[in-house]
Homo-oligomer: A and B are copies of this chain.
Amino acid sequence: MSLNQETVRQWSLPELADGCARAGVHGVGLWRAPVQAYGVRAAARLVRDAGLRVTSLCRGGFFTALDPGERAAALDDNRAALDEAAALGTDTLVLVSGGLPAGSRDLPGARERVADALAELAPYAAARGVRLALEPLHPMYAADRCVVSTLAQALDLAERFPADRVGVVVDTYHLWWDDTAGPQIDRAGGAAAGARSRIAAFQLADWVTPLPEGVLLGRGQLGDGSVDLRWYRERVEAAGYRGPIEVEIFNPALWARDGADVLAEVVARFREHVG
């Protein structure tokens, strides 16, 4: 199990490093903003000294701008994110593709711009030993956050590139409703085709309702919701995945509590519902 930093957003980076070490959690998923605020090198040293592995960096992406200046700025920012990932020692940069530009209704066009951006970034990523990890987000984010809504769509894009350069993220919160997620996880695993796995990261959160306004911060603690988390773990493992399992829950009710209590609860829930 790896702990994504946003699950315990109330913790500073030193608190996160210390708290994970105390809880016996050896992996963390980090976010760019707090890492930048702390200093990338200092953050890398901090987690290394705590014996932690950085399992992913969140996040690059936002590739769908039509304006050339915005597009160039997004690509520059993604190169910076790849540099940061390499400095932190992680091989996985999670990508949230971006939504529709203002006034646009062209989803297929936006998805093609994601492919164009992957093509531009893939060599830069490969030179740093970092894989671009395309994350399909729940369809409720298709307009304003991520035009890649299903694992099938993510794989359609990723498979245009070598598997060691572009992978996908399997996140239960985003995929749980989809009856094609199972076969698509098999496809991502690649075993049947004798291909290298595309599964770059596996993330967990539960689905709880009612959704809050804006639908960003309504993820559920493991076991509180509708997702058959163990089924997903078994399916990604059957597809050959042996990497970290990251718990990533955005939930203000968790952020209002003591971080160590939250982490202890996450570990217990992970044992009960996933392990």
A104-143 at interface with B (beta carbon < 8 Å): 104-108, 111, 138-140, 142-143
**Contacting chain B: which of A52-60, A220-228, A237-245?**
A220-228
**Contacting chain B: which of A66-74, A190-198, A204-212, A256-264?**
A204-212
Give the Cβ gap from A36 to chain B, nearest Cβ, in Å: 26
A149 is contacted by which of B100, B104, B178 (Cβ under 8 Å)? Answer: B178
Cα-based distance from A74 to B210 in the complex (angstroms)? 23
Give the Cβ gap from A57 to chain B, nearest Cβ, in Å: 27
**Cross-chain contact B179 with A153 (CB below 8 angstroms):** yes
Cα-based distance from A228 to B107 in the complex (angstroms)? 9
Cα-based distance from A211 to B144 in the complex (angstroms)? 10
Instruction: Using CB atoms, name the residue of chain B closest to A182.
Output: B108
Q: Is A49 an interface residue (CB 8 A)?
A: no
**Cross-chain contact B211 with A108 (CB below 8 angstroms):** no
**Cross-chain contact A211 with B213 (CB below 8 angstroms):** yes
Q: How many copies does the complex hold?
A: 2
Give the Cβ gap from A27 to chain B, nearest Cβ, in Å: 26
**Cross-chain contact B143 with A140 (CB below 8 angstroms):** no
Cα-based distance from A196 to B111 in the complex (angstroms)? 34
**Cross-chain contact A211 with B179 (CB below 8 angstroms):** no
**Cross-chain contact B209 with A210 (CB below 8 angstroms):** no
Q: Is A37 an interface residue (CB 8 A)?
A: no
Give the Cβ gap from A129 to chain B, nearest Cβ, in Å: 32
Cα-based distance from A104 to B226 in the complex (angstroms)? 7
**Cross-chain contact A142 with B213 (CB below 8 angstroms):** no
Instruction: Using CB atoms, name the residue of chain B closest to A227.
Output: B105
Q: Is A161 an interface residue (CB 8 A)?
A: no
**Cross-chain contact B139 with A178 (CB below 8 angstroms):** yes
Instruction: Using CB atoms, name the residue of chain B closest to A105.
Output: B228
Instruction: Using CB atoms, name the residue of chain B closest to A175.
Output: B139
Cα-based distance from A139 to B208 in the complex (angstroms)? 13
A214 is contacted by which of B143, B150, B210 (Cβ under 8 Å)? Answer: B210
**Cross-chain contact B179 with A108 (CB below 8 angstroms):** yes
Cα-based distance from A95 to B179 in the complex (angstroms)? 20
Additional A-B contact list (17), CB under 8 Å, known A211-B213, A211-B214: A100-B226, A104-B226, A105-B228, A107-B179, A107-B228, A138-B140, A139-B140, A139-B178, A142-B176, A143-B209, A143-B226, A149-B177, A149-B179, A210-B213, A212-B213, A213-B213, A215-B215
